Amino acid sequence: MERKQSWGYLVFTLPLCTLFFIFYIIPVVNSFYYSLFDWNGISSKMRFIGLTNYRELFQDQDYFHSLSFTFRFAFFNVLVVNVLGMLMALWANSKLRCRNFLRASVFMPNVLSAVVVGFLWSFIFIQVNTTLYEMSGWAVFSQSLLSHKGNVFWAVLIVTGWQSVGYCMVIYMAGLNSIDPSLYESASVDGATGLEKFYHITLPMIMPSVTINLFMVISSSFRNFDVNFSLTRGGPGRASMALALDIFHETFNRNRFGYGTAKAIVLLLTVMVITVLQVRYTRGKEVEHD
Amino acid sequence: MKRITILAFTMVIALVFSACNSSSGTVSQGAEAISATETKTPQTITWIQYQTEFTDGVNSLTERYMELNPNVTINVNIDGNNYWETFKAMLGANDIPEIFMTMGYTQVKAYNEYMTDLSDQPFVDGLLDMAKPAISMDGKVWAFPYNISGEGIIYNKKIFSENGWSVPQNSTELEALCKEMKAKGIVPFTNQFKDDWLLAQLMSGAGHAYESDIQAHNQALMEGKTTFSDSESMKRFNDILDFLIEYGQEDPLSYGWNEAASSFALGKTAMMYEGDWMWSSLAAITPDMDAGMFPFLSSEDTGTCKMIVDVNGMWHVGRDTKGQQAALDLLNWVYSDPEAKEIVLNKFLVIPTFKGWEYTGSNKLAMDVVELIKQDKTFIWPSSQWVAGFYPAVGKIYQDYLTGTISKEQILPNLDKFWNEMMSTGE
């Protein structure tokens, strides 16, 4: 009886596994193969150079700049999106009358296409900011966010965060709804304050949601491309060239397929290591429901 | 009940898979061959191109040709955003299209193994001399050029005539004019410096083009016999860039195509550096726009000041493809047939590449470019001759200078460093 069941499982997962193998595993292996060559992506001649691309990578100053930009971006993005997402979820879960409207409006940016988002925020940062400064004279509006290399980091962070908060909020809301309200009642009877309730009941019980959210935001922060591309194109100069955009620029604009693919493999390994460690850590903190 | 659900699920998945097989989101025009009363063998031509502004024109040409030649099927794929990726994918799959596009010069060299030699074709004799450098390599012709474009200073004729200003003829007059404008409170230039490709073009048109022999200079750069740091015109360009910043609008790094077009079209500045292709954006914002073009004046000598004007679109024929002869016949028909000439002149609205063909469009900038061609005041286009991979890096180096990441003295050494990097990567 049990053997028949496991055969059944295999048959049903086989299509998906095949697809996963063809469209994910094989391209990754192929990419590693291409990263050992010196190839401009056009001609049919490829020159085998072994691990030279990887050696060049570790000495490339521009690559380290992109690396540090992406790590800083990932750190702040994870922090901001998760904290704001959690706050939004708590707020949207409360007894407010407008909570449906709140949920819809916070989630809406998530469904917009990145090109539209980039265009919209370019307009805001350039035209709207200038007008607001002329009207109010506040210094916060006088900074040009897209043309100073120090500020462009915050521009990309704001726009990506704005888009991702809704998604995090929805996942946290699902987590909050699954907590048994009797826990809160018994805590009130024992005289716990709101903050204590949050720290001792809510937080441990939504750890699965935290795992999911952290995983998703970390991996998408490292892979962030479309907003970066449509908002700044890596500019000004190379100030906002995150890793994914750098790979695109290297392979398609500078015609260095081998080198760009090597960068992509390194990015893949980095993201894999970080997310595996993160999931292990937060999984360990999850509390089982009774 | 459970069986029905599973059945329904399987059908949905099957439907999704069949839907995934349909064509991707590009403008694709497949045409059926009209019933063959001809005894000629059926031929198929795959035609791939970017420059979506010519969609109408290309479709008119191909439809007319298919009417006259029922045995030929032409599949046109006009893709403005992903042309290069699609094209490279086709090459990788060994599915070389019969007709494809490039920008000439180094791209002719890079993709040469996929091109047919067109030197013996009838249309070659009808070409303007200035159209030949971009399509030639090793003394042979590799493409059918159909479009010429120029890039220089676009000026607002209304502002000029209101203030009684005439078009400057050399750099001294340009500087004096800008000082006068500033004194009157008019911002002279819109600098579109958010787009790094524009900075690359500006460097090529205002700096590199002023080398005494551009092709020889590029050749010497590739052979390592000279460097950008040794070039007088490149050093002069650094000063020109400072000049543009001084007489340009505030915060140039925030101005991309759209912002620059609105700024100029709404009359906020008197001039901008761009190409004649900018006209459609300007006319869309201000329908009664009155503007003209003159070369970027980098020299005090009026005779040396010329505009970069060159072939901006060319069709290649895929080598050893099944429809190769059909594609050659098609291109020769475009040149020789009077109806095809009508379509090219009236629907494409390009500055023509053949002797005796007149420009018929309403693009006022193009009209000025045609005048300059007649007066022989043009340079060939330097940026298409640069080593592959250099063009995207150039603009970013100048942006680094503008944000203060590098100093003025570091610009030319950085250019040389990137040039050498791109030269040393494989061919």
Residue B254: pLDDT band with limits 50, 70, 90: confident
Picking from B251, B403, B427, the nearest residue to A40 by CB comes out as: B427
Chain B segment 281-300 residues within 8 A of A by beta carbon are none
Picking from B388, B400, B404, the nearest residue to A40 by CB comes out as: B388
Least confident of B14-18, B89-93, B333-337: B14-18
In this predicted structure, the answer to whether residue B21 has a pLDDT above a threshold of 50 is no
In this predicted structure, the answer to whether residue B30 has a pLDDT above a threshold of 60 is no
In this predicted structure, the answer to whether residue B35 has a pLDDT above a threshold of 60 is no
In this predicted structure, the answer to whether residue A269 has a pLDDT above a threshold of 80 is yes
Partner-chain contact A43 B256, CB within 8 Å:
no
Chain A segment 44-103 residues within 8 A of B by beta carbon are 44-47
B252 contact residues in A (CB cutoff 8 A): 147
User: pLDDT value at position B1?
Assistant: 59
A252 contact residues in B (CB cutoff 8 A): 84-85
Q: Which residue of B has its CA nearest to A239?
A: B400
Q: How far is A212 from chain B (nearest CA, A)?
A: 27
- Rounded to an integer, the average pLDDT of B89-101 is 88
In total, the C-beta contacts within 8 angstroms joining chain A to chain B are 84
Helix axes of A207-222 and A61-92: crossing angle, nearest 10 degrees? 150
Picking from A235, A252, A256, the nearest residue to B425 by CB comes out as: A256
Q: Does B423 touch chain A (CB under 8 A)?
A: no
- Rounded to an integer, the average pLDDT of B209-215 is 86
Instruction: Give ∠ CA B354-B359-B365 in degrees, rounded to 5.
Output: 120
Strand partners, B47: B76, B99
Partner-chain contact B426 A39, CB within 8 Å:
yes
Asked if residue B379 lies in contact with residue B307, where contact means CB atoms within 8 angstroms, the answer is yes
Q: What is the per-residue pLDDT across B103-161, written as a single tens digit (0 to 9) for each?
A: 888 888 888 889 999 998 888 888 888 888 888 888 899 999 988 889 999 999 999 99
Partner-chain contact B88 A146, CB within 8 Å:
no
Q: Which residue of A has its CA nearest to B262?
A: A127
Structure tokens at A128: 């709207």
Q: Say how far apart CA B151 and CA B288 lie, in whole Å.
A: 22
- Rounded to an integer, the average pLDDT of B240-268 is 89
Structure tokens at B293: 């073009």
Partner-chain contact B405 A237, CB within 8 Å:
yes
Q: What is the per-residue pLDDT across B288-315, written as a single tens digit (0 to 9) for each?
A: 889 999 999 988 888 889 999 998 889 9
Q: Does B399 touch chain A (CB under 8 A)?
A: yes
Q: How far is B154 from chain A (nearest CA, A)?
A: 24
In this predicted structure, the answer to whether residue B58 has a pLDDT above a threshold of 50 is yes
Partner-chain contact A126 B254, CB within 8 Å:
yes
In this predicted structure, the answer to whether residue B242 has a pLDDT above a threshold of 50 is yes
Ranges of H-type helices in chain A: 2-20, 26-34, 52-57, 61-92, 99-107, 114-123, 129-136, 152-177, 181-189, 194-197, 203-205, 207-222, 226-231, 243-248, 257-284
Q: Which residue of B has its CA nearest to A251?
A: B389
In this predicted structure, the answer to whether residue B57 has a pLDDT above a threshold of 90 is no
Q: Which residue of A has its CA nearest to B398?
A: A237
Partner-chain contact B88 A41, CB within 8 Å:
yes
Q: Does B407 touch chain A (CB under 8 A)?
A: no
pLDDT exceeding 70 applies to what percent of chain A?
A: 97
Partner-chain contact B426 A40, CB within 8 Å:
yes
Average pLDDT of chain A, as a whole number:
87
Picking from B403, B405, B427, the nearest residue to A43 by CB comes out as: B427
Chain A segment 234-253 residues within 8 A of B by beta carbon are 234-239, 249, 252-253
Chain B segment 39-68 residues within 8 A of A by beta carbon are none
Q: Which amino acid is at B52?
A: T
Structure tokens at A188: 């009130």
- Rounded to an integer, the average pLDDT of B82-100 is 85
Partner-chain contact A234 B396, CB within 8 Å:
yes
Average pLDDT of chain B, as a whole number:
85
Q: Does B418 touch chain A (CB under 8 A)?
A: no
Asked if residue B303 lies in contact with residue B85, where contact means CB atoms within 8 angstroms, the answer is no
- Rounded to an integer, the average pLDDT of A35-64 is 85
Q: How far is A91 from chain B (nearest CA, A)?
A: 37
Q: Indicate the SS3 state at residue A37.
A: strand
In this predicted structure, the answer to whether residue A241 has a pLDDT above a threshold of 60 is yes
Partner-chain contact A236 B397, CB within 8 Å:
no
Partner-chain contact B403 A148, CB within 8 Å:
yes
Chosen from A36, A121, A238 to mutate, greatest number of chain B CBs within 10 A: A238
User: pLDDT value at position A146?
Assistant: 83
Q: Does B225 touch chain A (CB under 8 A)?
A: no
Q: How far is B389 from chain A (nearest CA, A)?
A: 4
With tokens 């429809």, the residue in question is B323
In this predicted structure, the answer to whether residue B404 has a pLDDT above a threshold of 80 is yes
B256 contact residues in A (CB cutoff 8 A): 122
Residue A66: pLDDT band with limits 50, 70, 90: very high
B388 contact residues in A (CB cutoff 8 A): 40, 255
Partner-chain contact B400 A237, CB within 8 Å:
yes
Partner-chain contact B251 A237, CB within 8 Å:
no
Q: Does B80 touch chain A (CB under 8 A)?
A: no
User: pLDDT value at position B15?
Assistant: 63
Picking from B253, B392, B397, the nearest residue to A249 by CB comes out as: B392
User: pLDDT value at position B33?
Assistant: 34
Asked if residue B156 lies in contact with residue B290, where contact means CB atoms within 8 angstroms, the answer is yes
How far from A126 is each of A12, A266, B27, B165, B196, CA to CA, in Å?
A: 53, 35, 33, 32, 18
- Rounded to an integer, the average pLDDT of B247-261 is 87
Which DSSP category does A147 fall into? T
Q: Which residue of B has its CA nearest to A41?
A: B88
User: pLDDT value at position B83?
Assistant: 84
Q: Which residue of B has its CA nearest to A47?
A: B426
What's the 3-state SS for chain B? CHHHHHHHHHHHHHHHHHHHCCCCCCEEECCCCCCCCCCCCCEEEEEEECCHHHHHHHHHHHHHHHHHCCCEEEEEEECCCCHHHHHHHHHHCCCCCCEEEECCCHHHHHCHHHECCCCCCHHHHHECHHHHHHHEECCEECCEEEEEEEEEEEEEHHHHHHCCCCCCCCHHHHHHHHHHHHHCCCEEEECCCCCHHHHHHHHHHHCHHHCCCHHHHHHHHHHCCCCHHHCHHHHHHHHHHHHHHHCECCCHHHCCHHHHHHHHHCCCEEEEEEEHHHHHHHHHHCCCCCEEEECCCCCCCHHHCCEEEEEEEEEEEECCCCCHHHHHHHHHHHHHCHHHHHHHHHHHCCECCECCCCCCCCCHHHHHHHHHHHCCCEECCCHHHCCCCHHHHHHHHHHHHHHCCCCHHHHHHHHHHHHHHHHHCCC
Ranges of H-type helices in A38-126: 52-57, 61-92, 99-107, 114-123
A234 contact residues in B (CB cutoff 8 A): 396
Q: What is the per-residue pLDDT across A76-103, written as a single tens digit (0 to 9) for each?
A: 999 999 999 999 898 888 777 888 888 8
Q: Which residue of B has its CA nearest to A232?
A: B194
- The residue with greater pLDDT, B389 or B398, is B398
Q: Does B147 touch chain A (CB under 8 A)?
A: no
